[in-house]
Structure 1
C-alpha cells in the first residue's frame, strides 16, 4: 500500500522526530572579527567546528542558512575508519554506535540463472576483509539528523553553538594581514517546507534583507554540492568544479517495511534482469521502535527498458509511489509492504571534483593576499553517487584533516604555508581517487559500462556479476577508509633514512618498520595501561581533542637490551636541542580547564608525582611501550628514562606475541611490537589524525628532529619546561 509521509511536529523550536535533541542555535552575530568562519552546519562543518571547539582557544563562527538541523533523510552510512575517528572523540563514537544499525554482511542478488523472472542470491560476504585490521568490521546506518545532533551536543560541551539562520553571500580578500577575508552575510527567514511535482520535500529559505559584514582569518566552505563559497572562488579566482553526469536516475527512500525478503537487515545489492537495480541499507529504529531501511532504487528502467527522458529532466516528476513500484519490480518475487515512508528524494548521478581545496595566493582589487585563508571541505569539493557510502565519511575526514592543521598553525607551532598546503595535496588526491572509484562503481551498479572502461562491454553476464563483486572487494580499503593513504610529503616520510638523513648502522634499529608505513593510518593494537592495568586500544589513548598534538609511540622492546638506546634518547629529549623544548604553543593553549587539556587523559590523571604524570610538552605525547608482562615491571625500573615515564604501557595483551609461560600476562608478550614490525624497538611518530608520520630507530634522534623541523617552527613563548624531568634524582619516587 502507498503510505503517507510521516508528519513532523515542532516543540519549543525543536524537531522531535526520533531523538533529534540538540541545543538551541544562536541567532545574533555579536562580533565582527573571528579566527575561523564555517559556512554550513552539515557533517563537514560540524566536524570542523566540534574539533576546533575541542582544541580550544579559537574564536569560531558557524553559520547555516537553515533555521534547524536536518530532520530526515540525506546521508546515513558511517564507515569503519570514520567510526575509528569518532571513537577518538568520545562520547561521540559510542553514542553513534549505540544508536545505529550495524551491518556486518553484504549480499549480492542477480537475475535467476534459469532465465525465469525474479532474483536469487549469488553471494554473501562479510562487510570487509578480516585482514584489514579494522576495529569495528561493519558499516553503521544512522540518519544524518541524528549525527548532526550528536555533533551539536559535543560542540555545546566545549562552548560552541551554531548561529542560524544566516546565509553566506560573498567574500573578498583585503589587505588586513591578520584577518584578510571580509565576508557578507544575510539573515534568513525560517525554513518553509513544500514539495516538488513528484512529492519530494523542498525547503524554501527566503532572505530578510538584513546584512552583516565580518572579517576572519580563515573562511571554510562546508556548504554542500551547490556551495556558494566555492561559487565565489570559481567566479573570481579561477577555481573549477569539473566532472560529468551519468544519465541514470535513482531515488533514495527511507521506509519501514514488512517483507519476506530475507536480507532486509543486511546490506543487499540487487540487480534485476529488466527493471534496474536496488540497494538496501539497514538503518536505526524510528520512534515506534520499527526498523527503518534506506532503499536506493533505480527508477528509469521501470518499464523494462531505459527511459529516453534525460535524468535531469525526469527527477522532479518521480513520486514515492513510483519508487515503491520499482522496488516491487526489481525485488520480485519478494513482497514489500510499505508501512511508512520517512523521506524520499530523486537524483541523477554525477561525479565532480573541485580543482583546489584551498585558495592559493593571488590578488583581488589590487590587493595581494597570501594562500590558504579560504578552504573547502565535504561536498563543496566533491559530488558523487551515495551508494558506496563515501560522501559524508569523506566530508568528515576532510574536516578532521583541516581542523588539526589550523589548530597547530594558530597555536603558533607550525609553519603556516607549509602545513596548510598539505591539506589540499592530501585531500584533493583522495577526492580524485573517490571520483575515479565512484565513476566505475556507480556505472556498474546501474547496469552501465564505465566510460573509461569500454572493454567491459565484452564481458558476458556471469563475468559482469563477478566483476562487480570484485570491484567492491578490491576497493574495500578505500570504501572503509582504512586503506586511504597519503604519499610522501613533509608530513609523511615513507623512507626515513633517505628523507630524514637517519644513520644506517647494522646494529641499530634505524630501519623503518616494514609493517607500518608513513602516510597510512596507524594499525590498531592492544596494550596494558600500566598505571591501572587496563587493556586499551593504544590508538584511542590520546583523543582528538586539546591540545591536538603528535603521538610518539616509543616501542622499547626488551629493556635489558635497549636501555642504552633509551637512555640516549632520554638525554636528547631533556636537552635544549630537543623538539620538546623547541616547539611550544602560544597563549591560545592556556585557556583550557586543565592547562593544555579540557580533560586530562586517564593515563596522566593518576595521582602520581609530576615526574610520572606531567608531560614536558603536551603537544608531543610520549608513550613508552615495554615488551614485558605487566606483573614483571616496576616504576623504578624506568626511573632513569625522564620524559618517557609519564605514559607507560606493557605489551602483554595483543595477540601474536611470544608465549613465555602459563602465568597471567605471559600468554602473549610482544604482540604489538610484532604487529608493528618493531621487535627490536623503534619510535612511531603519529600525526594528530592518526596517520603515521615516520618510523625511526630508538637512537635516531636526528631523524626525529628533522621530521618536525620540516613543518614546525620554534618559539620562545609558551615554554613549559618542567625541571623534574631534568633531574633524575628528584624524579624518582
Structure 2
C-alpha cells in the first residue's frame, strides 16, 4: 500500500522524455499543418533540397526554432560514403552549443598536430620530416580538429533533428520550381524516385543544398565562376600497415615523385584506424587532353572527365607508395576512392528574388562554392552557411525581425566568405601541387601559407563586414592594437571563449558553455571596476527590466561579467533586483583575471556588446551606449520586431 501521493506536471514528463530546447516565440501566423507532408499541394514554410552536411544542418536549426520545413533527398539511403572528412574548431564550438559535441568526439579522431615532410638532401632519405606544429594555432574552445566522415556527422545531426519531430523525405527528386505569388509563393515540383509519382508542394522559401551539380542553382540561372587547374588528384580512404612514423598526424608530404596530404581518421570495426590519403598523380596523359588548351568550357569539361576516368585505384596506390618511399605502405582495406581535379568556383548569386523583390530561393554549401578538399573547408563552410541562413529564415518566418531585413545579409556575408575561401584555397592548393624547388617553392613558403591561414581555416578568424547586422565603430575602451584572432572584441567576429565563474553557485565555467543556444540575442556587459556607480546601475536596470520588454518575450537575454578577482567581493544587492529574479545564471565573474585582457577591455571603463543568434558580435560599444535610445537599442530595433507588431508574411 503506497504511503505517499505524487503528481507530475506535463512539463516534467516532457523533460524526462529528453531535453529539447523550446522553440523561438512566434508572432506570425501559425505554421501550416500537413497530415501528409508530401501530399500534392501541401504547404511548408521552407523546403530544403539535399540533406548533406549543409542541408541537414539547416533542417536541424529550423526544427529547433519551430519552423515548418520539408527536407528532401533524392538518395533513398542515409549512407554517405567518402567526401568530407573533418570538423574545424569553430564548427565544433557550434556543435557544442547544439549539445552534439560529445557524440562527435566519441566517434571522431581528434587531430592536434601536423607534420611536414620534404625531399631529403644529399645523404638523407628520400623524404625527411622538416617540422611538426600544432594543427590549430589560434585560441579556441577546442584547439584541434575532429576527423570524422561526413556521413557520420550527417547521421548525428539527423538524429537530433528527429527529436524535434522532423524527418527527411528520402527518395524524393527535385524537378523544378516556379513563382506563383500568394502566401506560399514558391511551387516546388518533386518526384518519388521509387514509384515515379510526380507532385508539387508550396513553400515560402526554397533552399538548394544539392551539391556542386545543383539543379536548384541551374534553374535559378546562376553560374559558378572560377577556374580549374590541370592537376589531377586521387583520394582514398584505407586501413594502412606502414612504418611511416607520423601516420597518426595530419601530414603534408612533398617528395620528388609527387605530393600527399595524409589525414588520420576515426576508428572503424575490428579496432582498425582509417587514414585518408590525397595524392597528386603524375600526369601520364598527353598534352592535348589538358584543360588549358580546350576550345570551349564544354570541351574542357569533357577532357577533364576523360582524364579522371583514366585514374584507377591501383594507379592511386602505386603513386602513394612512390611518394612515401623509402617507407613501406601496405593497404589492408579500402573503404572508398575517387579522382578529382582541383577547381575553385563561386556562384554569381546565392539568392534570387520573386516578382515583389523578396529573396525566396537560396543556395548554400557546394551548390555555391567548390574548391579543393585539402584545407578541410568543404563540410565546415557548408554547415556555417546553414548556421547563418537558419536563424535569419526563422526570424523572418516567425515575425521576429522587420520584414525583409535579414535575408539579404545571407548572400552579403556568406558570398564574401566563399570568395575568401577560394582565394586561400587557390594559394594553398597551388603550392601543395608544386614540387619543392619548382618556381622557387620552399618549405618556408608552404609553411607560411598554412600558418597564416589558420585563423580562416579554423573558422575562428571569419569576419563579416559592415551591414545592418554588423555595426563597426571605434570603441575607446578597447585596446585595438590586439589581434582579433586571439580574442579582441570586434564586430563581425565570433566571441572567443574565456574561463568564467558563475556568481550564483560559484561554479567555474567556460563562457561558451553558458551562452544560450536557443536563437536568442545576447546583450553582453563587461562592467567597469566601479560598477556600483549610480550611472552604471541605471544602465543595468534598463538592460534587465526595460530593454527586454521592447521585443518578443525571451528573444533578448542579458549576460553580465564583473571584473573583481573574487566572487566573495560581490553581493546580489549590488545589482538590480530583476537580474536575480529573471537572469540568475547570467551574472559571471572574470575571477581568473584573463577575460578582460583577452577581450582587450579596459577594466576601468567596461564595454557593452550584442551577440547575434549565431554567436557573432553584431556590435561593440562603450558602455555609455547602453541607455535609452542610444546605439545598443537602435541596433536591436533595426533587427528585431517591436513587441506587439504583427508579421505580414
Relative to the length of structure 1, the TM-score reads 0.76
1:85-117 Cα offsets, whole Å, 9 max, x none, are 111110x11111221111111111111112777
| Alpha-carbon distance change, 307 to 142 in structure 1, aligned in 2, over 3 angstroms | farther
User: 1:709: which partner in 2?
Assistant: 637
Matching of residues 24-423 of structure 1 within 5 Å? 29-30=38-39, 32-56=42-66, 58-90=67-99, 92-114=100-122, 118-129=126-137, 132-176=138-182, 178-189=183-194, 208-234=195-221, 239-273=222-256, 275-301=257-283, 311-361=304-354, 368-423=355-410
2:618 to 689, 693, 699: 693
SS in 1 for 2:535: helix
Under a length normalisation based on structure 2, what TM-score does the superposition of the two structures give? 0.85
Distance in 2 (alpha carbons) for counterparts of 1:65 and 1:621: 40
State the distance in 2 between where 1:116 and 1:572 align.
Answer: 67
Task: Measure, in 1, the Cα distance between the counterparts of 2:606 and 2:481.
Answer: 10
Checking the alignment, whether the CA contact within 8 Å between 1:559 and 1:626 is kept in structure 2 is no
Q: Deviations over 1:191-230 (max 9, x none)?
A: xxxxxxxxxxxxxxxxx43101111001000000000100
Are residues 59 and 535 of structure 1, via their aligned partners in 2, closer, same or farther at CA, if it must alter by over 3 Å? same
1:164 CA displacement: 0.8
**Per-residue displacement from partner, 1:271-304 (whole Å, max 9, x unpaired)?**
111x21111001001111201000111123479x
User: Alpha carbons of 1:510 and 1:527: their partners in 2 closer, same or farther (altered >3 Å)?
Assistant: closer
1:494-533 alignment, distance < 5 Å: 494-495=472-473, 515-533=488-506
Contact map agreement 2:561 2:590 (CA 8 A) in 1: no
Q: Distance in 2 between matches of 1:300 and 1:223?
A: 32
Q: 1-side partners of 2:635 and 2:481: how far apart? A: 16
1:205-257 per-residue CA deviation (whole Å, 9 max, x = no partner) reads: xxx431011110010000000001001011xxxx2211111111111100001
- Deviation (angstroms), 1:369: 3.4
Shift of 1:70: 2.8
Pair 634,573 (structure 1): closer, same or farther in 2 beyond 3 Å: closer
Separation in structure 2 between the aligned mates of residue 28 and residue 335 of structure 1, nearest angstrom: 55
d(CA) in 2 for partners of 1:109 and 1:155?
Answer: 42
Match of residue 674 from structure 1: 597
Q: How many positions carry a matched residue from both structures?
A: 588
Q: How far did residue 677 of structure 1 move?
A: 2.6
* Whole-angstrom CA distance in 1 between matches of 2:122 and 2:171: 58
**Alpha-carbon distance in structure 1 between the residues aligned to 2:84 and 2:478:** 45
Structure 1: runs of 5+ lacking an equivalent: 1-25, 190-207, 362-367, 450-455, 498-503, 585-616, 658-670, 720-733
Give me the whole-angstrom Cα distance separating, in 1, the residues matched to 2:378 and 2:199: 32
Q: 1:599-641: CA deviations, max 9, x gaps?
A: xxxxxxxxxxxxxxxxxx3111111222232233333332446
Q: Does 1:637 align with 2:590?
A: no
In 1, Cα distance between equivalents of 2:76 and 2:385: 25
- CA 307–106 in structure 1, closer or farther in 2 if over 3 Å, else same: farther
Structure 2 CA distance, aligned partners of 1:60 and 1:709?
28
Please say if residues 627 and 652 of structure 1, whose CA atoms lie closer than 8 Å, have aligned partners that are also in contact. Answer: yes
Distance 1:640 1:512 in 2: 35
Query: CA 1:448–1:353 in 2, change beyond 3 Å: closer, same or farther?
Result: farther
Structure 2: gaps of 5 or more residues: 1-34, 291-302, 483-487
Task: Give the superposition deviation at 1:428.
Answer: 0.2
Structure 1 residue 652, shift from structure 2 partner: 4.1
CA 1:473 to 1:647, structure 2 compared with 1: closer, same or farther past 3 Å?
Answer: same
- Do the aligned partners of 1:301 and 1:307 also contact (CA within 8 Å) in 2? no
Tell me the equivalent position of 1:22: none
**How big is the shift at 1:457?**
6.5
The alignment status of 1:464 with 2:442, answered yes or no, reads yes
- Please give the alpha-carbon distance, in whole angstroms, between the structure 2 residues aligned to 1:570 and 1:381: 46
**Aligned equivalents of 1:713 and 1:76: distance in 2?**
40
**CA distance in structure 2 between the aligned counterparts of 1:81 and 1:636, rounded to whole angstroms:** 38
1:581 to 2:517 alignment: no
Aligned residues: CA RMSD: 2.6
